[in-house]
Structure 1
């Protein structure tokens, strides 16, 4: 595809929103281990002669924040449908900033937790509005790259949080945790600066009967050659022809009717798997885990290395998901996660663990997270965002994210009890639980996850309407204008000009476009 510099910048401005995702989770994972923070919000442990958050308080402060994320997932559908993605992003930024102010002025666990709930409301909003926005604005051959970039910025935000936490943890006063917490406002400020340059989704505009505005947006997003060859007019007409049946937004209950329940199930299961393979365990309890297994002096350093390696693999995932497909990458990624998670359990559960066993356990933890961020992590967001119909895309994503929140709540709430004494005290053996879930996830991918690589959103509707098994999605031949649009998107500008540029479909698009404009005037 011949993306112009302007269109690339516009899409990238949307990708920047990915820095929000779990930004607070990554920060709090380290902040809760700060000695001044523990003194301010925790209690004195006479046996260890230090201040610490009790397992029950740590569980509540980590898990209750997910109430906000759940609220965000409920609000995002109606907000996006009514206001569009751009204005919903504005609401998200304001919500984030309010939460940061409440947290940084906290002197009690309850106030700090309220701030986290508000920030996670922003997380719930952005975790839905960004993938659906990028899914609708990106051409099919690059959709995995752009939506998958969300995982890259998530990991990049975690790396920044880890670096800041590493430096701030050395401070002996409250300024350390306050500064680390306040930096959560930085992504919101960056996004507010880039928001005026971010276009509305062309599909949302067509759904609002604003085809001319959609055409203007596409003219800015496509290369000069593609604009000159009529691709934008063709794309708008394809949206009007193939999306006219599904363009009107449907109620929540439509997610579970005969036509949509398969899509809803796919989106929900893959978002649940992302949590069940331990993503929250890695992001929220990384430093705590290292301390628990006797690596307290290196806890923040290992967490930073973990995030740095994951950034590299997230970039690999951005390319791999479009090159090799969502299905294969996710399938093998789950098996790799299962392997390293079970190695964590096996090496860490030895009664007399040697230094090589400890090193192997740390390496396994880093490699597990690396595999997650290259495969299932981005694939979950991509699949959940692209699998829904135009009439239910925001609600499908929102419902799947709500499932993600509920499962994540269970994971975050139970982890302190599973990890530490005097409760289950599984420690590294917790890896067996997440590893088993990863293996089960691989089996589900093989039988149920469809391959949507390279398909435009209108083609995906045809695939599900055909009611074919998941394994046959990649070989199914679509028809109509959505198929021709896919050929446009997969061809370079010269091929478009020489081939489809004079096709009857293009002539039909121009003719019907004129009729549509005349009808609008009437």
Structure 2
């Protein structure tokens, strides 16, 4: 009887009154879900979204490949068997000439640059799952060329085409993680992308150290063969993985989006999926009002220009702020004067500290903001880089060499605890949901471009037959890092504890970076213009 009475009342109401009532319901739903997101703690979030945690980690397996291959190749420059096969004699020792070190390093970086830019269209057209599956097949094919290469030319070609896939991986993984996880888990799960990089580097260093004593071709072929494991595992798992609910909503597939949310949440303690869908739809609607299309050009229009700048810079700082020294850690240690075995062991220790540092970043994120962690990390890293440079002033001694190597490990630890993982959190939170794939692709491409620059420069900078800078490289990266720290103070916002809709509103209101944390957002619902006009006219 009550239901019939309510229906009769709705029939008697004017159209704009019905719209107003429905709009009020949507507003209440959005406010309720937003409040629930803010109140949800980390461990409660894990309990409610265990499958989201699993699938985010699963997609990060692809990033392990992106961390493994470049680190492996740069480690090979100090591998005796690789040096004898591909190198040339210099002062009685086999070395890989600096031009070929540049070529091999550039191959991967160029591939990543092109792959990242090419990723935007298929990611939005075909979704995260199918795009990743295609990339896995691509990687399997090109690993064959790396494995069976007989000279540096073929190996370099294999690095270029394999790098195309890595460019896709480093975009897909953070985009997927940010799409499937709630606010309480967003920081940790997106930071896990960096952990995947570190795991890849650690496995590469450990593998290279394990084969360092071998004198046959398997010393460098076995590490290449390991790369076949991950794409096969991914292809099997992708058959069961849920698609991004944000992407499905943008495709008009609401029912599929709800089924995806079911696959991401707990079977026993499931949140209100319909309410979650309303928030996703309203966030998408809000961004549709801000940007009518989702092209690369839109990333440079209006407030998206600022968002693209921030994403690009926090990613770029990884390269220009000292990270190339991590990629060349083993080679750096050897050129600094350590024996080959000691250099490989220090390289393994370097990546192991990176692993521990990334794990420690998780509790830090739950207590401190993104801006605080990132900026404090930059201060410590800049200081360490200048110290490494100062230690190279006197004539080299064993103590100074070990001190530089130890400081490199400490720098890695601080980097992987702060700037490294927080970068991936920021690029996922700062970019809008509709342009996230393309924004991260642009940031990845710019980072890869500067990676190419340093790939060209690093061998000449460190090689004993060229610049022979050794620890003096700390001066260059220290100065660049100091300049980046100034940028962080003025331009890096605090995004912690904000839903994607709240971040859209704050950016649209052009709030300065230093006021992001204190700005109070008046929750709004954005609807179609004509509906909003009816609601506004009626008060």
Matched, 1:469 2:469: no
Q: Is the 8 A contact 2:358 2:417 kept in 1?
A: yes
Q: Is the 8 A contact 1:145 1:321 kept in 2?
A: yes
Deviations 1:266-314 (A, max 9, x none): 111111111011213212x111111111102301000001111111101
Structure 1-normalised TM-score? 0.88
Correspondence for 2:347:
303
Q: Is the 8 A contact 1:68 1:121 kept in 2?
A: yes
Q: 1:93 to 1:127 in 2, by over 3 A?
A: same
Q: Is the 8 A contact 2:59 2:173 kept in 1?
A: yes
Correspondence for 2:410:
367
- Within the candidate set 98, 119, 142, 2:162 is matched to 119
User: In structure 2, how many angstroms separate the alpha carbons of the residues matched to 1:453 and 1:251?
Assistant: 27
User: In structure 2, how many angstroms separate the alpha carbons of the residues matched to 1:478 and 1:208?
Assistant: 29
User: In structure 2, how many angstroms separate the alpha carbons of the residues matched to 1:113 and 1:235?
Assistant: 47
Structure 2-normalised TM-score? 0.85
Q: Indicate the SS of the match to 1:44.
A: strand
- Within the candidate set 159, 167, 188, 2:202 is matched to 159
Correspondence for 2:460:
417
Q: Is the 8 A contact 2:70 2:108 kept in 1?
A: no
Name which one, 1 or 2, has greater alpha-carbon Rg.
Answer: 2
Deviations 1:453-490 (A, max 9, x none): 1222222111101111011111222233689xxxxxxx
Gapped regions of structure 2 (runs ≥ 5): 1-44, 532-539
User: In structure 1, how many angstroms separate the alpha carbons of the residues matched to 2:146 and 2:50?
Assistant: 39
Matched, 1:315 2:359: yes
After TM superposition, list the pairs within 5 Å mapping 1:231-380 onto structure 2.
232-247=273-288, 249-283=293-327, 285-297=328-340, 298-351=342-395, 353-380=396-423
User: In structure 1, how many angstroms separate the alpha carbons of the residues matched to 2:371 and 2:132?
Assistant: 30
- Cα deviation for residue 183 of structure 1 reads 1.2
Q: Is the 8 A contact 1:287 1:299 kept in 2?
A: yes
Correspondence for 2:14:
none
Q: Is the 8 A contact 1:59 1:413 kept in 2?
A: yes
Gapped regions of structure 1 (runs ≥ 5): 484-507, 513-522
User: In structure 2, how many angstroms separate the alpha carbons of the residues matched to 1:194 and 1:320?
Assistant: 31
- Within the candidate set 19, 28, 42, 2:73 is matched to 28
- Within the candidate set 406, 413, 429, 2:449 is matched to 406
Provide the aligned length of Structure 1 versus Structure 2: 479
- Within the candidate set 58, 69, 80, 1:13 is matched to 58
Deviations 1:165-200 (A, max 9, x none): 112121111111000121122222222232223211
- Cα deviation for residue 265 of structure 1 reads 0.7
User: In structure 2, how many angstroms separate the alpha carbons of the residues matched to 1:469 and 1:327?
Assistant: 13
Q: Indicate the SS of the match to 2:165.
A: helix
Q: Is the 8 A contact 1:73 1:128 kept in 2?
A: yes
- Cα deviation for residue 350 of structure 1 reads 1.8
Correspondence for 1:488:
none
User: In structure 1, how many angstroms separate the alpha carbons of the residues matched to 2:514 and 2:275?
Assistant: 31
Q: 1:425 to 1:31 in 2, by over 3 A?
A: closer
After TM superposition, list the pairs within 5 Å mapping 1:23-172 onto structure 2.
23-45=68-90, 47=91, 49-172=92-215
User: In structure 2, how many angstroms separate the alpha carbons of the residues matched to 1:21 and 1:385?
Assistant: 19
Correspondence for 1:498:
none
